[in-house]
Amino acid sequence: MPEKRLHVTLIAHTPEPEKVIAMASRTCYSALDLDGLRDKAETADNAAYIRRVLASGHASVVEHASFTFGIEGVSRTLLAQITRHRLASFSVQSQRYVSVAGQEVFDYVCPPRIRGLGPAAQEKYLAQMKTMQRWYDEWTEALGEDAAEDARFVLPGAAATRMTVTMNARELLHFFSLRMCNRAQWEIRELAWQMYALVAPLAPAVFADAGPGCVRGACPEGKRSCGRADEVRARKAACQERREKE
């Protein structure tokens, strides 16, 4: 069955990101030349230094580290959300150039709440996807050459896609603060948690306080709080424990 599940891999990242960030930060405050700054980054406690710098509010220096992710098994609905994070680079599979004509059914994402209703609900959902596949094929046949450009208009937000996304560490911290929150939509929330799990071991000082406001103190959502801050903190603690065991 072409139902897809979210999967994230870390394709590439800035080598030794905390050394790069520490060197960049010391550029602002030290009289050392570049060789001296590099030597300092090799010998000093960069993690402690980065924590002090971030605590002071000097967050721009973490922009010097970037991370590139391969993401698949996500919906076009998610695409509409993640591209609101404008300080990022996106390369997305094109429905204009990648046709799904002639398939039994295109790749799609099924929301967990529908899946949780049981086999009958899943079959109903699949039948709806197949109906839209039939519409797509009908328009492909009617339109002829370059049909995917317009036939794609009948595909749903559930249609699966894949993308390559690059964010610097500062934008990741912003992304995590919004999207790891329980009030974020379920799909992008799960994406954010998976991305966090991949980058946190590479720059633990940078991402030590990553996540929604409730992991650092009181929930900033006020009356709109989910009321489950302990759950969020426990999930992050579990991520850290797994990382320490690996």
Write out the two tokens for 203. 């720059």
* The residue to which tokens 């249609």 are assigned: 159
- Of 157 and 33, which is predicted with more confidence? 157
pLDDT at 98 over 90: yes
Q: How far apart are CA 68 and CA 73, in angstroms?
A: 17
Q: How far apart are CA 79 and CA 102, in angstroms?
A: 24
pLDDT digits (tens, 9 = 90+) for 123-165: 999 999 999 999 999 999 999 888 999 999 999 999 999 999 9
3-state class (DSSP) for residue 111: coil
Lowest mean pLDDT among 55-59, 72-76, 237-241: 237-241
Asked if 181 contacts 227 with a C-beta cutoff of 8 angstroms, the reply is no
- Is the full-model pTM beyond 0.85? yes
Write out the two tokens for 70. 């391969």
pLDDT at 170 over 70: yes
pLDDT at 246 over 70: no
pLDDT at 244 over 80: no
Q: How far apart are CA 124 and CA 96, in angstroms?
A: 28
pLDDT at 231 over 70: yes
pLDDT recorded at residue 205 = 95
**Catalytic option among 134, 170, 179, 233:** 179
Q: Average pLDDT in the 12-19 region?
A: 96
pLDDT recorded at residue 192 = 98
Query: Is 179 in the active site?
Result: yes
Write out the two tokens for 133. 């596949």
Distances from the Cα of 99 to the Cαs of 5, 74, 137, 147, in angstroms? 21, 17, 10, 8
pLDDT recorded at residue 41 = 86
pLDDT at 245 over 80: no
